[in-house]
A and B are shown apart, each in its own frame.
Chain A
Amino acid sequence: MNFTSKHYDMKRKTIYRSLFLFGTLALVSILFQLCKPKGPAEVTTGNAASQAYVAPGKYDEFYNFVSGGFNGQMNVYGLPSGRLFRIIPVFSEDPTSGYGFSEETKPMLNTSHGYVPWDDLHHPALSTTNGEHDGRWVFGNANNTPRVARIDLKTFRTAEIIELPNSGGNHSSPFITENTEYVVAGTRFSVPMGDKTDVPISTYKENFKGTISFISVGKEDGKMKIAFQIKTPGVNFDLARAGKGPSHGWFFFSCYNTEQAYTLLEVNSTQKDKDFIMAVNWKKAEEYLAAGKGEKAKAKYVHNWYDEKTHTATSEMLNEVMQLDPTVLKDMVYFIPCPKSPHGCDTDPSGEYIVGSGKLAALIPVFSFTKIQQAIASKEFEGDFGGIPVIKYEAALHGEVKKPGLGPLHTEFDANGNAYTSFFVSSEIVKWNVKSLEVLDRVPTYYSIGHLCVPGGPTRKPHGKYVIAYNKITKDRYLSTGPELTQSAQLYDISGDKMKLILDFPTTGEPHYAEAIPASLVMPNSVKIFKIEDNNHPYVAKGESKTNVERKGNQVHISMTAIRSHLTPDNIEGVKLGDEVYFHVTNLEQDWDVPHGFAIKGANNAELLIMPGETQTLKWKPLTTGVFPFYCTDFCSALHQEMQGYIRVSPANSNIPIKFSTGKTEAPAGATGSK
C-alpha cells in the first residue's frame, strides 16, 4: 500500500511538473507570439474620420492636381476628402470627351513625329505670382515624347502644348520661376544633337549632350515659347526647382549618371560617390541672350494651342531654337557635388536652402544659397566637369541630415520651417527642421512612397495642414482587383507635432508629383458655359435656322445643332458611299451643366462631348450603304432618349440630292401609289 501510495505521490508530482513545464512553455510561446512584429495593418486613431469627412453638398478646402503618370492625364481631387472630380485629358487621347478624336482637338496631340496618342505625365506645376500660387494655370510634362502642356484653370482644359527639341525623356520639368517667367524642361536622356545624330551609342562621352530648355510664359495669355536652351555635358537630368526670394534668378537641377554610362545604368551610373546639382543663373542667361551671345540651332518641334473662340486647335511646326553654351559663356552654370544619384532638388520657402535627395544616400545634404554665392565669388572650385566649374561640396553645404531614413526622394515644406522628405526604401515620411537639421518625426506609408505634397509646399507661403503621400506599391490596402491594382495616396494631418494618417484614397494612372491649392483661388474663376455669341467656329450654327448640309467634292459638311431635346437636322439624305462626312455639332444651350453628346453607328474614332456654346466635329466615313442612326450620348433631359436622328448613305453613283430636316414628316413615297 505504502509503495503504491508513494508511487502515486510521485506520479502526481510528475504530472504537476509536466503541467507546470507545459504551462510555462505555452506562456512563453504566447508572449513570443505577442512580441512578433505586427503587420502594417495600421488603423487610424482619434477623430481621423471626421477630419477627412466632407459632408454631402459641402466643398473640399483644396484642389489636388495629381499627375496621371502613364495615363498621360492630370487628375483633379478634392482634399481632405480624396474624392476624384475630373481627369483632364492632356497628353493622351480621351474617347469620353473626344479629345484627340474630334477634328478640333487632333492638332493638340500633333508632334514632330506625327500624331502621338499617348504619353506619360509626371509633374504638375501650378502658376505662381511672387512665389505664391495664383490659380491661373497648371503645367504638365510629357516624359516620353518631350513636351510641356499648359492647362487653363478657368476651363480645366489643355490650352497649349509645346514640344522640346534636343531632348529625350522630359523628366526634369515643368518647374517654374517665381512669377511664372519660365517653365523649365531638362532632358533625362542626353542625346546626340545637331547634324551628328547618327552616331555609335558607344560615343556617348563625345557626342551626347544634355539640354535645359527655358520656356517663356506670356504674362497675360500664358503663351509658351522656347526662349533658350542651355547645352550641357551628357548626363541625366532628374528634377529641378527655381530659386525664390533671395535666390530668385537661379534654378537648381539634380543630375545623375555623371559616370556618363550608356548601358546598364543600374550598375554603371551608380559608381561615383557624388553626382551633381546644377545651379543655373538664368538672369545671366537672359543677359547673354540680349547681348546676342546665343546661337541659332536647327530643330524641328511643334507648338499647339487651342483657341476658345473658334473652339479649334492649331499646330505649328517650328524650325530653330536659340542655344547658349556655358563652356563659352562663363558665370552662368555651376555644378555642386551631391551624394549618390540625387533625385529631388527642392528649395525651401525662404529660398535660402536647397535640399538634394540622393536616392542611394544615407543622409540628406542641405545647401545654402548664400554659401554658394560666396563659394562662387571666392572661386572655391574643386575642378570642372565638361568645362563647367564644380563648387567644393563643403563650401556650398549648410549641413547634412544624419540617418534620416533609406532612399530619400522628394522634399516639401510647411510654413513653420519644417521639411517633409519621402523615403522610398524605408517607406516613410520624415519631418525635420530645415535650419537645425534635426529629425522631428516619422510616419510609415503604405507602401513605398514616391512624391509627396504639402498644399502650397513648393511656394514661398506653404498652407501646410496636410501632407499627401503618393505611393508606388498598393498591395493589400484595398479590395483586390486581380493582378492590376488601384494606385494609392494617403493623407496625413501635419497640424500638430506628430504626423497623423487620416485617409487612404485610390488614384488613377500612376500618381507622381502633385500640387494642392486652396479652392478659393480656383473655383470662383471656373467657366460655366461658352458664350454662343463668341463662337467663331467656321461651321457653327448659331440657331436651328442656321443649320446646313453642304457638299464639297466628296466631303459633306453638316452644321448641326443640339438643344434639349433634339438634333437639327435629324433626317439627312444625299450622302454617298466614298464620302467623308463631318458632323459639326453646336450645343445651343447657354445653361450650366447641360452638355450634349454625339455618336454615330460604326464611327472609327469616338464620341463628341459638346459643352454649352461650343462646336465640335466628328469625322465619319461610312463603309456601306444604308440608314445609320445617331444620338445624344449625354443624358441631358427628360427626353434625352428621344434625342436621335438618321442619316442615309446611298451608292456612289446614285443621284439622291442633299436633303435635311427636323420635325418634317412626309407621306411615305409608296403610300400615294395606284389602287
Chain B
Amino acid sequence: MTSIKSTSRVIIVVASLILVAGFFVPLWQILMWAPQYPEGLEMDIWYNDITGDVKIISALNHYIGMKHIEVGMFPEFQYIVYIIWFLIGFGLLVAISGKRFMVWLNAGVLLITGAAALIDFYLWGYEYGHSLDPTAAIIVPGMSYQPPLIGTKVLLNFTAFSGPDLGGWFFVIAFCLVILVIILERFFFNWKKT
C-alpha cells in the first residue's frame, strides 16, 4: 500500500471542495433561440432546482403538447444534494487516508456519478420530448422534441443548445484534478524508487 505525496493530498482536497461551488452556480444550461426570440431563452439546471425562462418555455411548448416543466418533475432533486455531499466527503477521506487505490476509487466514483447524471438527463429528455399530449394544437406527424444531450439541435422554429454550465465545468475540473494526481503519482513522484 503506497501513500501519496502531500501535494497530491492538497490537490484531492481542492478537487473535493470545488464541488461546493456547484451550490452557488447552475450545473447545466439549455439555451433556445427562435425568430421571435433573438435574445434567446435560457433554462438552468442546478443540483436541486430549475431556473431561468422556464415559464415562458413551458408556455411555448404547450402548443406542441409538451409537459409544463416544474421542479416536481425531477424526483432526482430530492437526493442529488446528498450524492454531492457524499462525493465531497469521500474526496476528503481519500486525502486523509492518502492511499493510492483510494485515488483510483475517487476517480471511478466521480466518473460513474457524471455518467449516471448524463444518462438520467437523457432519459428525462427522451420522456419530455416524446410523451406528448394527443390533444395538442400543433401535431407534426413523426416529430418528437427531445432536447439535445450535449450540443445543438434544431426543433421546428427553435434552435436548442445543451451543455455544461459553470457547475458542470467545476465537476469536470474536479475529475481532471483527480486524474492529474493519478498521473503525477504514477509517472513523476515515484520514478526514483522504481
Contacts and interface: CB of A to CB of B under 8 A. Distances in A.
B138 A564 contact: no
Nearest to B41: A591
A640 to B, nearest CB: 12
Interface in B40-61: 53, 55-56, 59
B56 A591 contact: yes
B63 A639 contact: yes
A590 B137 contact: no
The size class of the interface chain B forms with chain A is under 10
B64 to A, nearest CB: 10
A564 B57 CA distance: 12
Contacts of A564: 59
Contacts of B63: 637-639
A563 B138 contact: no
Contacts, number: 17
A466 B3 CA distance: 77
Interface in A217-264: none
Contact of A563 (B53, B59, B137): B59
Contacts of A591: 53, 55-56, 59
Given A638-B63, A639-B63, A590 B138 contact: no
B56 A639 contact: no
A637 B61 CA distance: 12
For the residues of B in contact with A, the DSSP-based class is: helix
A638 B156 CA distance: 14
Nearest to A590: B55
Interface in A600-643: 637-639, 642
Contacts of A565: 137
Contacts of B53: 591
A589 B56 CA distance: 8
A407 B95 CA distance: 90
For the residues of A in contact with B, the DSSP-based class is: loop
A590 B59 CA distance: 10
A511 to B, nearest CB: 33
Interface string B119-146: 0000000000000000001100000000
Interface residues of A, number: 10
Nearest to B137: A639
A591 B60 CA distance: 11
A642 B55 CA distance: 22
Interface string B78-98: 000000000000000000000
B59 A638 contact: no
Which of A563, A564, A590, A591 gathers the greatest number of chain B CB atoms within 10 Å?
Answer: A591
Interface string B20-53: 0000000000000000000000000000000001
Nearest to B39: A592
Contacts of A590: 55-56
A563 B63 CA distance: 12
A638 B55 contact: no
Contacts of A563: 59
B137 A638 contact: yes
Contacts of A639: 63, 137
B66 to A, nearest CB: 14
Contacts of B137: 565, 638-639, 642
A588 to B, nearest CB: 9
Contacts of A642: 137
B139 to A, nearest CB: 13
A56 to B, nearest CB: 13
A564 B56 CA distance: 11
A122 to B, nearest CB: 38
Interface string B98-110: 0000000000000
Contacts of B59: 563-564, 589, 591
Nearest to A638: B63
A565 B56 CA distance: 13
A529 to B, nearest CB: 11
A642 B63 CA distance: 13
Contacts of B55: 590-591
A536 B59 CA distance: 24
B133 to A, nearest CB: 13
Interface in A562-590: 563-565, 589-590
A637 B137 CA distance: 12
A103 B61 CA distance: 35
A639 B138 CA distance: 10
A563 B58 CA distance: 12
A534 B77 CA distance: 29
Nearest to A639: B137
Nearest to A593: B36
Q: Which 4 A-B pairs have the closest CB atoms?
A: A591-B56, A639-B137, A590-B55, A564-B59
Given A564-B59, A590-B56, 11 more contacts: A563-B59, A565-B137, A589-B59, A590-B55, A591-B53, A591-B55, A591-B59, A638-B137, A639-B63, A639-B137, A642-B137
Interface of A: 563-565, 589-591, 637-639, 642
17 contacts: A563-B59, A564-B59, A565-B137, A589-B59, A590-B55, A590-B56, A591-B53, A591-B55, A591-B56, A591-B59, A637-B63, A638-B63, A638-B137, A638-B138, A639-B63, A639-B137, A642-B137
